[in-house]
Amino acid sequence: KNEVEQSPQNLTAQEGEFITINCSYSVGISALHWLQQHPGGGIVSLFMLSSGKKKHGRLIATINIQEKHSSLHITASHPRDSAVYICAVRSGSGGSNYKLTFGKGTLLTVNP
């Protein structure tokens, strides 16, 4: 079992729909990142969370540390939101023991 599981793997939506992508992890973490990757490879860091909720424009990210679960929501989705969304967790402590583990990503396609 992977340490970081994302669901769904693929998601197709119509423009304007509300989108939710989930991330579950099995290790203790110090932070969780949501990343967006467009075709061609470029990655953009959307959020970094260690507790609670963050909002940026139409994007909302939440994390529940007790349940080891995070969600990324997109309100009023748009075709330009089509991308791969990747969850990454940082675990470990101490100078050289930090480890970054990534989920496999969720491919989101928003149709006009």
Partner 1 sequence: KAGVTQTPRYLIKTRGQQVTLSCSPISGHRSVSWYQQTPGQGLQFLFEYFSETQRNKGNFPGRFSGRQFSNSRSEMNVSTLELGDSALYLCASSYAGVNTEAFFGQGTRLTVV
Specify which residues 61 forms β-bridges with: 54, 72
DSSP 8-state secondary structure symbol assigned to residue 76? S
Cβ-proximal residues to 38 (8 Å cutoff; 6+ apart), any chain: 44, 83, 84
> Is 31 one of the binding residues for partner 1 (CB under 8 A)?
yes
Closest CA to 3 of 28, 25, 29: 25
Q: Among 78, 100, 109, 111, which residue interacts with partner 1 (rule: CB under 8 A)?
A: 100
> Is 42 one of the binding residues for partner 1 (CB under 8 A)?
yes
Nearest approach in angstroms of CB 42 to partner 1 is 5
What are the Cα distances from residue 79, in Å, to 29, 82, 107, 109? 33, 6, 13, 7
> Is 34 one of the binding residues for partner 1 (CB under 8 A)?
no
Nearest approach in angstroms of CB 112 to partner 1 is 27
Separation between Cα atoms, residue 57 and residue 97, nearest integer Å: 34
Q: Among 15, 27, 44, 111, which residue interacts with partner 1 (rule: CB under 8 A)?
A: 44
Q: Among 54, 69, 73, 90, which residue interacts with partner 1 (rule: CB under 8 A)?
A: 90
Applying CB under 8 A, the residues found at the interface with partner 1 are: 30-31, 33, 35, 40-45, 48, 86, 88, 90, 95-105
